[in-house]
Amino acid sequence: MTPEELAALIRSRRSSLLIDAQREVSRSLVEELLALVTWAPNHKRTWPWRLAVLTGETRRMLGESIADVMAAQGDDPPKVEKTRTKYLRSPIVVAVGAAPGDSPERTAENRYAVAAGVQNMLLAAHANGLAALWGSPMRGANAAINDVCGFAPDTEVLGLVYLGWPTGVVENPGRPAPDINWL
């Protein structure tokens, strides 16, 4: 791959929920994408990523579990109901968590490493022709997600990533140029 091709890949990746919920993604492809998460830079090599792949009915379980938390904390009822089936919108949902470190600084570094790993996954998904979207976990639902996903209770859930084959193309709105202080 040339530098130009890499730049084009990065620029053309879009967050997209235009996903065929019925069309399966092979387990081997998902495994390939998840293996790339681990190639992110990671201070002290703590390997902080925690990953769970939700398919089939487990996606509904995740939604129900999060919706129950939202209902208990008094969230907007239509939003709660929508959440119950939210994760059925793609055939694969990858839950991504970060393990804590042995100090607040290391915990932050772990979080950054996992976020960098998610971008690896998103770019690789795009390179394979998949659509993906990094969704934030619902407020208050960290413990419920850890429980469904089999993560340790101190895991910080950074995202629920929808993955699947695209049904359409998301427009590229462009980006402002970075504001750089050259010193």
Ligand X SMILES: Cc1cc2nc3c(=O)[nH]c(=O)nc-3n(C[C@H](O)[C@H](O)[C@H](O)COP(=O)(O)O)c2cc1C
Q: Which is nearer to ligand X, 15 or 73 (CB)?
A: 15
Q: Which is nearer to ligand X, 100 or 135 (CB)?
A: 135
Q: Residues 131, 121, 23, 7: is their CA dihedral positive or negative?
A: positive
What three-state secondary structure class fits 76?
coil
Q: Which is nearer to ligand X, 71 or 112 (CB)?
A: 112
Least Å from the CB of residue 106 to ligand X: 20
Least Å from the CB of residue 55 to ligand X: 20
As a residue count, the chain comes to 183
Cβ neighbours of residue 175 closer than 8 Å, sequence gap 6 or more: none
Q: Which is nearer to ligand X, 15 or 85 (CB)?
A: 15
Q: How far apart are CA 132 and CA 70, in angstroms?
A: 25
Least Å from the CB of residue 183 to ligand X: 28
Q: Enumerate binding residues for ligand X (CB under 6 A).
A: 14-15, 133-136, 159
Least Å from the CB of residue 78 to ligand X: 17
Q: Residues 152, 153, 154, 157: is their CA dihedral positive or negative?
A: positive
